A and B are shown apart, each in its own frame.
Chain A
């Protein structure tokens, strides 16, 4: 009888991307494989790099996985990348969010100015395909904090500090937004989409789930401003990061809270996870059995087990103790001989990929 193995946090560094010169604000893996990673930073640039070093570079992949020292006796150091494959430099303000289309040919990015989300073609870094806002009759009026594709890449949803979510049409060349959702009382900080739903988290402490099929918007109150969202694959549960210092795994059907990370003091104790004032993006990992999040206090990434709620590991990503603002997971698959990796980027402008 094989006991169910506890999921573990991969902790060997595969690659270090040191292409940026300012804090990293957002990370996005390419779809269906995640071979590439797009990083957006406060240096107003978006860089495209490989997630993992190409196989010619790694000396012994096996040792990296098992975390043992190699035959030479040295722990293999992760390669450091200083030049990205592509640089996208059209933004004039810090890049705050990136979203990639399913076929991986375009991606959208938003920045701290209100010139709207930019739509790029991956192959042409010199110029954007489209710019929403600016020319548009009703663009965003404040910085755009999050973008996401919806409805099979035919709608681009962008949330902004002007309390609105604007839906932009990808199929037509219309400059006007398809729809403006203005239910929030404070800026939108996170957006996720799924099928016919758009879920937004706002700094007014509400989680709003707009369902186009049912014609209703379900509002869930959170104890503090919502800063990060991650949807489970079946769409029934959502991971909500809140500025009261807790990450909650909520059930979307009835609004119950399934788990709270870090767990209460009487259950597991406070492990030093702090989230009081900055936007930290957390994510589900390892086939939705783990929750990963950076921290404000130390430069560590913590992993909690979803089933038990306890912390199962942490990795020191930033030795200087800098804030780790974003952690993203890329799912692995046995069929394609790909391992699950996670990438963390922080204030020091370095992205580290662990697998």
Chain B
């Protein structure tokens, strides 16, 4: 008897149908855990709607009753019932109960709350505002008292409590003479002097940095106000003024006239877009005239470097002079390099240190280049002219080694092992005719073959045939009524031997396939082996699923022909009792080579195969192993 499903399973089942589209990942949790979404019957008490705060949304007007002004209390099961309230003389309500006060926020919904937030303003307190700006209360104008309440800031209040008086500085007491001018007066401790508060002029224009420094012509010059010069006191360096008003342009000085939008005052000499210092070029031919140096008293920028006219000095000049120099052998130095005429500091340093001294050349040393060339390789030698640099690409490794005077390498190159045909292929592929000649050697480690071959390369060039295919071809050979090469029995024997060779790849030592006596050259033998591969692949029977769907054709004509000969074929064909049947029982299906091998008793490689097994994470955890790689 099947057990009744638990409620949890039942509900979980229904929940699963909520999001059938979810294939990957987990579906979103339901809005309401207690409510089923599939349209089944829901009792009335479960059908109530609440918002996120838990308050009931639809009041009595929707459900048929009326609210009577009581927010969400009418319409519930209790209706409008006053909550119980008990307060006695001994047990006062206000003492014991934590009376839940109803706040304003309880009655406000989201719109009301948002409106309240928006109407809030954040302002700074009066006592803190205005520090450092022109509204700073510490800078007292006479008019202040009229319009603003004179009140100490909080900082002043705190300092006052600590013993500070207005007008004093802050810090440790200073020893000073009572009368600063008289050196004989008494020394006494005084509080330090008050420091000046820097006044910053707020920038009201849109001029850029450095305005007023670079374009002296545009700076407004007014005869009324003297232009501030560098000899001002240190407390107001250039750039900071003491509440100055920005000046108007020259044109405005003339009463009634104004500058147009381009700031054009009519002078042709002034370029409004000019940024750099003005250069006075010689505009007339036949220069050499001494230029009048305009002395601008008080004019010009504050920057002393800009007073003088800059002189152009080319930095490339020494480079240009150096590039034309050649090395001692007459060749130009390499691209990007320049012959040095003097050592830099590092060079001088290295020369002095005896560690970096160049080695001492013995007197009898001869450079190898001048030695007589001994023929090292068969590669053609290019005459090494110092002037031509094209020869560098026409040399081989051996010739370069010989030029450099190196000893020839002891190791063998790949060209020793490959055949001449492969070398020709390489030459045509790369286009480089200067490849070393190919010697078809066998590596020493490879000579383990029992059968001596003419050249070592033969064993590596035997065509590869899959062992399973070879096995199937072997069985086919055995079972077939007309095996391949039926007319040439020795060839069939060689074919069989090749199949035997191919089906045992791991055998060691591995006897090579039989070789026909009339095949003198390797190429003929190899050609025959390739033919065997093609034959094996051609006669490969279908395996697996395909085999179960198809059977080999056994034509009636052939059967009747062979049955008369009385050869020992497979069951039904040779059986004379079935000769006159319209349909013959099906032949045995072509079997799997692995099954064939198992039936023959050849267990091992033939019967074994591997498939991936990917245990789940939990299974691996139970087994106590890591999840195998390759998932």
Q: Is A256 an interface residue (CB 8 A)?
A: yes
Residue of B3, B599, B603 with most partner-chain A CB within 10 A: B603
Tell me, rounded to whole Å, the shortest Cβ–Cβ distance linking A178 to chain B.
5
Q: A151-B622, A179-B619 are in contact. Are A215 and B598 (CB under 8 A)?
A: no
Contacts of A216 in B (CB 8 A): 610-613, 628
Q: Is A171 an interface residue (CB 8 A)?
A: yes
Of the listed stretches B65-73, B124-132, B271-279, B589-597, chain A binds B589-597
Tell me, rounded to whole Å, the shortest Cβ–Cβ distance linking B525 to chain A.
33
Pairwise interchain contact B608-A178, C-beta atoms closer than 8 A: no
Q: Is B84 an interface residue (CB 8 A)?
A: no
Of the listed stretches A42-50, A206-214, A270-278, chain B binds A206-214
Closest to B594 in A: A221
From 604 to 628 in chain B, residues with beta carbon under 8 angstroms from any chain A beta carbon are: 604-605, 607-616, 618-620, 622-628
Q: Is A158 an interface residue (CB 8 A)?
A: no
Q: Is A217 an interface residue (CB 8 A)?
A: yes
Q: How many angstroms between the C-alpha atoms of A286 and B603 in the bound complex?
A: 26
Interface code A210-245, partner B: CB below 8 Å = 1, 0 otherwise? 111111111111110000000000000000000000
Pairwise interchain contact A223-B598, C-beta atoms closer than 8 A: yes
Pairwise interchain contact A155-B604, C-beta atoms closer than 8 A: no
Tell me, rounded to whole Å, the shortest Cβ–Cβ distance linking A191 to chain B.
15
Q: How many angstroms between the C-alpha atoms of A299 and B5 in the bound complex?
A: 48
Contacts of A167 in B (CB 8 A): 619
Q: Is B362 an interface residue (CB 8 A)?
A: no
Pairwise interchain contact B595-A223, C-beta atoms closer than 8 A: yes
Interchain CB contact (< 8 A) of A215 among B592, B594, B601, B612: B612
Q: A205-B595, A257-B601 are in contact. Are A215 and B613 (CB under 8 A)?
A: yes
Pairwise interchain contact B608-A218, C-beta atoms closer than 8 A: yes
Q: Is A353 an interface residue (CB 8 A)?
A: no
Contacts of B619 in A (CB 8 A): 155, 167, 178-179, 212
From 25 to 58 in chain A, residues with beta carbon under 8 angstroms from any chain B beta carbon are: none
When A and B form their complex, what is the total count of cross-chain residue pairs whose Cβ atoms lie within 8 Å?
A: 104
Contacts of B601 in A (CB 8 A): 257, 260
Q: Is A268 an interface residue (CB 8 A)?
A: no
Pairwise interchain contact A255-B624, C-beta atoms closer than 8 A: no
Number of interface residues of B (CB under 8 A): 36
Q: A179-B615, A212-B613, A214-B628 are in contact. Are A255 and B623 (CB under 8 A)?
A: no
Q: A154-B622, A213-B623, A215-B629 are in contact. Are A183 and B598 (CB under 8 A)?
A: no
Tell me, rounded to whole Å, the shortest Cβ–Cβ distance linking A194 to chain B.
11
Pairwise interchain contact A256-B603, C-beta atoms closer than 8 A: yes
Q: Is A269 an interface residue (CB 8 A)?
A: no
Closest to A154 in B: B622
Chain A: interface size category? 35 or more
Closest to B5 in A: A135
Q: How many angstroms between the C-alpha atoms of A183 and B610 in the bound complex?
A: 12
Q: Is A66 an interface residue (CB 8 A)?
A: no
Pairwise interchain contact A220-B625, C-beta atoms closer than 8 A: no
Q: Is A192 an interface residue (CB 8 A)?
A: no
Tell me, rounded to whole Å, the shortest Cβ–Cβ distance linking B509 to chain A.
19
From 563 to 600 in chain B, residues with beta carbon under 8 angstroms from any chain A beta carbon are: 592, 594-595, 597-599
Tell me, rounded to whole Å, the shortest Cβ–Cβ distance linking B601 to chain A.
7
Q: How many angstroms between the C-alpha atoms of A214 and B5 in the bound complex?
A: 39
Pairwise interchain contact A215-B611, C-beta atoms closer than 8 A: no
Q: A212-B620, A257-B603 are in contact. Are A221 and B629 (CB under 8 A)?
A: no
Q: How many angstroms between the C-alpha atoms of A211 and B605 in the bound complex?
A: 19
From 172 to 201 in chain A, residues with beta carbon under 8 angstroms from any chain B beta carbon are: 178-179, 181, 183, 196
Contacts of B631 in A (CB 8 A): 215
Q: Is A123 an interface residue (CB 8 A)?
A: no
Q: How many angstroms between the C-alpha atoms of A205 and B596 in the bound complex?
A: 12
Q: How many angstroms between the C-alpha atoms of A68 and B149 in the bound complex?
A: 132
Tell me, rounded to whole Å, the shortest Cβ–Cβ distance linking B260 to chain A.
86
Pairwise interchain contact B604-A215, C-beta atoms closer than 8 A: no
Contacts of A221 in B (CB 8 A): 592, 594-595, 597-598, 607-609
Contacts of B620 in A (CB 8 A): 212
Q: Is B330 an interface residue (CB 8 A)?
A: no
Contacts of B597 in A (CB 8 A): 221
Contacts of B5 in A (CB 8 A): 135
Tell me, rounded to whole Å, the shortest Cβ–Cβ distance linking B3 to chain A.
6
Q: How many angstroms between the C-alpha atoms of A189 and B3 in the bound complex?
A: 29
Q: How many angstroms between the C-alpha atoms of A138 and B247 in the bound complex?
A: 93
Pairwise interchain contact B628-A212, C-beta atoms closer than 8 A: yes
Contacts of B255 in A (CB 8 A): none
Q: A151-B622, A179-B616 are in contact. Are A219 and B611 (CB under 8 A)?
A: yes
Pairwise interchain contact B599-A223, C-beta atoms closer than 8 A: yes
Pairwise interchain contact B603-A250, C-beta atoms closer than 8 A: yes
Closest to B593 in A: A221
Contacts of A169 in B (CB 8 A): 618, 622
Contacts of B611 in A (CB 8 A): 183, 216-219
Q: How many angstroms between the C-alpha atoms of A169 and B629 in the bound complex?
A: 23
Q: Is B630 an interface residue (CB 8 A)?
A: yes
Contacts of A179 in B (CB 8 A): 615-616, 619
From 440 to 468 in chain B, residues with beta carbon under 8 angstroms from any chain A beta carbon are: none
Q: How many angstroms between the C-alpha atoms of A196 and B598 in the bound complex?
A: 27
Q: Is B285 an interface residue (CB 8 A)?
A: no
Q: How many angstroms between the C-alpha atoms of A109 and B582 in the bound complex?
A: 52
Q: Is B317 an interface residue (CB 8 A)?
A: no
Pairwise interchain contact A171-B622, C-beta atoms closer than 8 A: yes
Contacts of A152 in B (CB 8 A): 624
| CB pairs A–B below 8 angstroms (15 shown) | A135-B5, A151-B624, A179-B615, A196-B623, A212-B619, A215-B613, A215-B629, A216-B610, A216-B613, A216-B628, A217-B612, A221-B594, A221-B597, A254-B604, A255-B607
Residues of B within 8 A of A (CB): 2-3, 5, 592, 594-595, 597-599, 601, 603-605, 607-616, 618-620, 622-631
Residues of A within 8 A of B (CB): 134-135, 150-152, 154-155, 167, 169, 171, 178-179, 181, 183, 196, 205, 210-223, 248, 250, 254-257, 260
With A217-B610, A257-B603 given, name 10 new contacts (CB 8 A): A135-B2, A169-B622, A196-B623, A210-B615, A213-B628, A215-B612, A216-B610, A220-B607, A220-B608, A257-B601
